[in-house]
Each structure stands twice: as C-alpha cells, then as structure tokens.
Amino acid sequence: MSTPMTAHELQTLLSSADAPLLVQVLPEEVFAARRIPGSKQACVYEVAFFDQIAALTSDKARAIIVYGAGSGSLDAKVAAEKLVAAGFTNVSAYDGGLDAWSAAGLPLEGEGTLPAAPSLSGTFRADTEQSLIRWTGRNLFNHHSGIVRLADGEITLRDNALVAARFRIAMDSIACEDISDSAMNQMLIAHLHSDDFFDVAHHPVAEFVAESITPLATCTDGTPNYLLRGQFTLRGITREIEFPILAATADGKRLTAQGVLDLDRTQFGSVYGSGRLFRFLGKHIVNDHVHLHIKLHADLQS
C-alpha cells in the first residue's frame, strides 16, 4: 500500500493516459487551502469517509492513490488500509504527501492559507451552565463520582498571554452521580458537606487564582498544551497547585479548556479517613487524593 515514489514520479504518473484517482484524505478546509492538482477529497477522519469515496468511484478495481500531510502523519497509511479492508484492490499511499510535493517545488492548487488558530485577547467569562468539574473519590475497595459546578470565573488574555484569571467553585453544588438510592446519595453528600471533608457551611466557595500559564513545547494536538499554575483556596487554606491543561478556541470568541489533576485533600484540612494521619481505619479509610477532571467554557465579553 505504501508507494515509495518521488513527487516528480507521482507527477508523471498523474499525467499519463491511465492516471489513477488521486485522493487527499484531509479535512475540507485543508483541501481548499492546499492540494495536489487534480486531487479529489475524502476525509479519513470522518465516519462518512466511505460515502465520500463512493461518490468518487464505485469501481473497487480502480487505481487509487491517497495522500495526506506528509512526514509524521499516518493519514494516508490509515486511509489506504481502510480502503483495502473494504475490498479495494489497487490502492497506494503516497507517503510524501503535501510536504514532499511542496518541497520538490511542484505547483499546488488552493487558496494557499492553511487554517490557523485565532489569537486570543480580551476577557472571557465562564459559562457556568456548560462548565463543570467531575470528581472521583476512592478507597481501596470502592469509589464514588459526581460533579461540582463553577460559581463564576473570568480569564483575561492579551495575544494568547495570560493577564489574569480567577474561578470560584460553588461547593454546595457537589452532586454524586453513581449512587441511585436517594437516601444513600443524600447521606454521602451530607458527609462531603461536613467538616470531615469540605466544611461547606463555613467555606461555601473554593477559589483558584492563576499566576502563570506556560506553553508546553512538546505538545501535539489532543494533548495538554499549557501548564497552569496558581493559588487554590479550599476550606480557607490556600496552597499553590499546578496542572497541565488543553486549551483552544475555534473562533476567538469562545475559549474551551480541560485539565486533569489529583488533588491532595489533606493539604487543605480534609483529613477524614487518611491512612497517613490515622491508624486502624479499617473500612473507613479514604484515599488522600481526589481525582478532578475540569472542563471550562468561557465567552468573550464585548
């Protein structure tokens, strides 16, 4: 399936009388920006990939060459494998892709400008309906999970650089999602509200104030791209925390970020069931760390 040909060899093949069907397997916006002349498009990332191929040809014996971005991307390889598995008998992958074609000085069709993430500037206010924090608390034999919501929050950026950010968590919004029995569910929530855990009556709000956000040089799409550091206050105790986040925007008007961390609750005075601090706990032991998955949506303010 992999075709070890140069860009000039591919160009010659495409100009022959029995030229193959050349298919770029990247998204529409990339196809519109840059494509090898004569290409058709079917995006291998979409579940409709085979429908798009079917719109190009119904002949499974037809010669097809697929290509994608080039070095470091599996797009063409995966597309060729999918087509062969679907019964196409004459499929090749041009591994060089757009990179090798362009490096050879050969012409490209399209608008020329690849999609780029917009620069972020301004104050973004948290959407408290769509933003949430998923929590999981564990011991050796069991676990419970649920959500807690933001009370409010804002982040101010200038040319993608952090100016200020503050988020407050409504601790009385703690909910458990894995216990169906209402009485047991309410018992757990009451215990989490108590001074054994988060002492919500005296500390109804937790707060995070960001101090820095550092780009992660080794990130790839879909992995954390920043390290967020700041001061977190829980139960009236403030400590520095840091954790990686993945943050992005589609249009510069709505910022979406997610982060995962394990928070040591005992550092904030929640010592109930800690095997580090009590002996002979038996069935009452509770892990020190609470797992948090944070999802933030924030909208640019006019």
Question: Is residue 247 located within the same domain as residue 196?
Answer: yes
Which band of pLDDT confidence, cut at 50, 70 and 90, is reported for residue 147? very high
In a domain, 50, yes or no: yes
**Run of H or E residues at 12:** helix 7-14
Nearest to 157 by CA among 243, 247, 241, 233: 247
Does 115 have pLDDT greater than 80? no
Question: Is residue 158 located within the same domain as residue 273?
Answer: yes
Tokens of 105: 């000085």
Identify the DSSP state of 256.
E
In a domain, 46, yes or no: yes
In a domain, 150, yes or no: yes
Q: Which of 69, 103, 137 is the last residue of a domain?
A: 103
pLDDT in tens, 2-45: 558 899 999 999 999 999 999 999 999 999 999 999 999 999 99
CATH code of 141's domain: 2.40.128.110
In a domain, 64, yes or no: yes
Question: Is residue 173 located within the same domain as residue 68?
Answer: no
Q: What is the pLDDT of residue 15?
A: 94
Count of structural domains within the chain: 2
- Quote the domain boundaries for residue 263: 122-300
Q: What is the pLDDT of residue 119?
A: 82
Question: Is residue 132 located within the same domain as residue 189?
Answer: yes
Question: Is residue 145 located within the same domain as residue 233?
Answer: yes
The number of residues making up the chain comes to: 302
Tokens of 236: 């009236």
Contacts of 22 (CB under 8 A, 6+ apart): 14, 36, 38, 39, 40, 64, 65, 67
Contacts of 137 (CB under 8 A, 6+ apart): 143, 144, 145, 286, 287, 290, 291
